[in-house]
Amino acid sequence: MTTDSPTPETPIASSPETDSSDTSNDIEIIDVRATDSEPSSAIGDDEVRQKFSELIEAIERRAKAEAGNVSDWRVQAVEKAKETIEQTEQFARERQTQIEESVKSLQDEAFDRWTELTKEAEDFTNRLQKAANEAWKIVTKHEEEAKAAEAAAEDSSPSDDDSKAA
């Protein structure tokens, strides 16, 4: 083996700690943990299991608490959404009522103005008709007077002839 720089493919061969043939270090570590030579520093399997189960229980409690928080958050979000929808629907109903009232008011005002306009147009038409009748009477008055004068002249001339003949 060479003493090139170590890479994942080529480990350093000169180091005794990384020598693949020497596994005594791993065994020694396992042996140290397994022996009861130092009871104060060694942890027993029962203690490990107990601590592990406590850790699992703590994780479960935390997960349940977080799930409860998420569940509470979801419930709050749904309630807030319902409240917002109800407020929106109420706002929409109020706006619709206001719009309907505005339309009704505009229709009433338009009807009143139309009625007033047609009344004014009818009054104007009546005045025009009266003025036209009066103008017609004035125009035809001269013609009627002239016809009446002619008729009177004709009536008076035959009677003059009759009185002369008699």
pTM assigned to the model: 0.38
- DSSP codes, 48-114: HHHHHHHHHHHHHHHHHHHHHHHHHHHHHHHHHHHHHHHHHHHHHHHHHHHHHHHHHHHHHHHHHHH
Q: How far apart are CA 27 and CA 16, in angstroms?
A: 15
Q: How far apart are CA 133 and CA 114, in angstroms?
A: 28
Q: Where are the domains of the chain?
A: 30-155
pLDDT at 5: 52
Q: pLDDT tens for residues 109-119?
A: 999 999 999 99
Residue 128 has pLDDT above 80, yes or no: yes
pLDDT at 90: 94
User: Mean pLDDT score of the chain, rounded to an integer?
Assistant: 76
Least confident of 14-23, 133-142, 148-157: 14-23
Residue 153 has pLDDT above 70, yes or no: yes
